[in-house]
Copies of this chain bind each other. A is one copy, B any other.
Amino acid sequence: MAAVDYPPALKRLAAQLRRLPGIGPRSAERVSLWLLGGAEGVRCREVAEALQEAADSVRACPSCGFFTEAELCEMCADPQRAGGPLCVVEQATDILALERTGVFRGRYHALGGRLAPLDHVGPEDLRIGTLLQRCRAEPPAEIVLALGADVEGEATARYLAELLRAEFPGVRLSRIAQGLPAGGGLESADELTLSRALSGRVTV
């Protein structure tokens, strides 16, 4: 006698959910059963609609790479941000993290990743061409490199700094600071963080 199991459509749903980040096999099964638990499959349909709507209407802003439903995202469309500083980040999701600090009010540019030769990610795989085009079309007051403090982030920042300094010698080029994380004591900081905090010390 073949083992009894859930119907194929339920298993296909669980298989799709298992692909999502942070969802393991057990949690995919649990979520599938919950989704099918509503009357007449209403839960499934509501989530399916939200997915369909997001797929249909959300796209990447052709200028900065952030998410938008319009032609341009609200930051690229905002005339008050024109001619201000331009902040270069790795991922579109980094933009909102920086924006939420409230410290920076300029435009952004998401590269869509960082240089990683071991993963076969070269300059041509990143949105570097569009970055240069944007800077040529409307030279920013400053270019802020807000890339990760890891090896790939460092390498990407160094590569971009060289490129941008050569083409836009008049534009101020900066990198976000490295040092102690807020709330962190010296005892919990590693050697590299401490050495960077020291060499990046600011006069008070």
Question: Interface residues, chain A, CB within 8 Å of chain B?
Answer: 1, 3-10, 12-13, 15-17, 19-23, 27, 30-36, 40-58, 67-69, 74-75, 78, 80, 93, 95-96, 99-100, 105
Contact = CB atoms under 8 A, between A and B. Distances in A.
Given A4-B75, A34-B20, A74-B4, A45 B53 contact: no
**Oligomer copy total:** 2
A72 to B, nearest CB: 12
The dominant DSSP class at the A interface is: helix
A113 to B, nearest CB: 11
B21 A30 contact: yes
A48 to B, nearest CB: 4
Nearest to A98: B4
Contacts of A54: 9-10, 12-13, 32, 35-36, 41, 44
B1 A20 contact: no
Nearest to A93: B33
